[in-house]
């Protein structure tokens, strides 16, 4: 029989906007910054975990298998099994899902599952012509041959390619993620005004959550090596309005596009962890669960409309558990783009789409905006790709506890044409 799986605690770093040049923390630095206080407050030793699973997309050369590096730096023991997972934007949720299945099937009792990403450390890449030039120089025999090879260098061979830009471009459709949001917006008639209004509301909600202390206990202060500290998500702009955002020009489809820098998620560094435990571990260590994972689901679709991943993954999840969208009291839907979030809401409320694509009898219905991303989302706090799926589960659990709601869904679109969703219940 499947065993119950509980989320007992979690924490994350502040999400820090990527600026010019590498940020103060590498992916493992970030994972350690929020992992240390999380483990320090537990009534058990760091070595009591069975496994560590960490999502990370832009792994840097100095930190191969960042899960293992982080586990060792966190003092979890040399015999701690630790591995890294990568499914683009879903990596942080995939770590939770993998841990959930290990515990559910009886293969583990307690797992630390997280996500980390330092997009400011994304590399600059040499063009292929530069790689070929360097290879020719390295393999040339003798001084004359090396000199001849050196003289073949052209300025264009040294022009760097921004690795992050290529990483956010789908290799099958050759559309970048912003362009896929434009496609979704076009399909469902989402207007620029609607997108800007949604983005402004995201900033207002996050600013309110910070002011009211709703993130206390979730966000841990991070300390850099030069003595600076970071104690809040620094991408929030409380003064954003639909009117100010309307002044920004489209980024991906000029001049008529809907997607701008203001209504898109921010390029950000950050990490997040959650602790998952079986009922046996809860009893052994006298833990107090925050919530239980009921079910999870992954889905795939055309990469050009990857933004509809939440609809394609969450709908079967709800059906399998005998639920409708109205039965869910709290939603965390990762805000890759305002246009994409609004496209998902429109899809669920579209009779033809729900009949022909989802196989429903009619429209799934509206999701109350007061139940969706109640404290803002990636537009206001950022989207460190390998982390966001973990953060939305962690914050969903905390928001449900604060609001006193019983049932929640965390869901996200995933680059490459995928979607992930997780059903959470309060305990």
d(CA 345, CA 363): 11
Out of 56, 89, 344, 354, the active site residue is 89
d(CA 120, CA 26): 9
Residue in the structure block whose two tokens are 């993954």: 313
Return the sign of the alpha-carbon dihedral for residues 156, 161, 165, 166.
positive
Out of 121, 203, 383, 395, the active site residue is 383
Cβ-proximal residues to 328 (8 Å cutoff; 6+ apart), any chain: 318, 367, 371, 407, 408, 409
d(CA 34, CA 24): 14
d(CA 67, CA 30): 12
Q: Where are the beta strands (DSSP E) in 301-415?
A: 330-333, 407-414
Can 89 be counted among the known catalytic residues?
yes
Out of 56, 344, 354, 413, the active site residue is 413
Q: Work out the angle at residue 49's Cα, subtended by the Cα atoms of residues 44 and 52, and round it to the nearest 5 degrees.
A: 135
d(CA 58, CA 91): 11
In contact, 407 and 367? CB cutoff 8 Å: no
d(CA 93, CA 391): 8
d(CA 251, CA 257): 8
* Among 106, 156, 128, 120, residue whose Cα is nearest residue 16: 120
d(CA 66, CA 53): 10
Can 344 be counted among the known catalytic residues?
no
d(CA 374, CA 386): 22
Q: Work out the angle at residue 201's Cα, subtended by the Cα atoms of residues 334 and 119, and round it to the nearest 5 degrees.
A: 40
Alpha-helix residue ranges (DSSP H) falling in 213-251: 242-245
d(CA 103, CA 5): 7
d(CA 169, CA 148): 37
d(CA 414, CA 426): 26
Rounded to the nearest 5°, which phi and psi values hold at 419? -150, 150
**Which pair of tokens denotes residue 419?**
């979607």
Show which residues are catalytic. 89, 383, 413
């Amino acid at each position: 029989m499947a065993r119950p799986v509980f989320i007992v605690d979690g924490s994350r770093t502040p999400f820090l906007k990527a600026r010019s040049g590498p940020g103060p923390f590498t992916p493992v630095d970030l994972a350690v910054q929020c992992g240390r206080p999380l483990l320090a407050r537990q009534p058990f030793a760091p070595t009591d975990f069975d496994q560590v699973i960490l999502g990370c997309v832009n792994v840097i050369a100095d930190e191969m298998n960042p899960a293992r590096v982080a586990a060792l730096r966190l003092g979890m023991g040399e015999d701690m099994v630790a591995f890294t997972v990568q499914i683009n934007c879903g990596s942080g949720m995939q770590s939770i899902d993998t841990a959930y299945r290990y515990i559910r099937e009886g293969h583990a009792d307690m797992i630390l599952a997280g996500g980390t990403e330092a997009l400011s450390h994304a590399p600059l890449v040499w063009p292929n012509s530069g790689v070929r030039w360097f290879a020719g120089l390295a393999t040339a025999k003798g001084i004359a041959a090396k000199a001849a090879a050196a003289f073949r260098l052209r300025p264009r061979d040294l022009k760097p390619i921004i690795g992050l830009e290529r990483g956010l471009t789908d290799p099958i459709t050759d559309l970048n993620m912003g362009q896929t949001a434009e496609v979704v917006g076009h399909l469902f008639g989402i207007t620029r005004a609607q997108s800007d209004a949604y983005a402004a509301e995201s900033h207002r909600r996050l600013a309110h959550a910070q002011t009211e202390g709703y993130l206390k206990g979730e966000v841990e202060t991070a300390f850099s090596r030069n003595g600076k500290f970071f104690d809040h998500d620094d991408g929030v702009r409380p003064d954003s309005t639909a009117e100010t955002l309307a002044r920004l020009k489209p980024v991906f489809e000029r001049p008529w596009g809907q997607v701008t820098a203001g209504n898109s998620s921010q390029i950000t560094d950050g990490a997040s962890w959650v602790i998952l435990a079986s009922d046996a571990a809860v009893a052994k260590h006298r833990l107090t669960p925050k919530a239980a994972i009921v079910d999870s689901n992954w889905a795939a679709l055309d990469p050009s409309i990857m933004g509809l991943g939440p609809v394609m993954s969450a709908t079967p999840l709800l059906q399998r558990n005998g639920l409708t969208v109205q039965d869910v009291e709290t939603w965390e839907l990762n805000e890759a783009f305002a246009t994409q979030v609004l496209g998902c809401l429109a899809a669920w409320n579209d009779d033809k789409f729900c009949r022909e694509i989802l196989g429903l009898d009619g429209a799934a219905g509206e999701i109350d905006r007061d139940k969706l991303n109640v404290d803002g989302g990636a537009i206001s706090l950022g989207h460190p790709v390998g982390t966001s799926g973990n953060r939305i589960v962690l914050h969903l659990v905390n928001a449900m506890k604060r609001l006193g709601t019983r049932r929640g869904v965390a869901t996200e679109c995933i680059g490459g044409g995928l979607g992930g969703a997780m059903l959470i219940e309060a305990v």
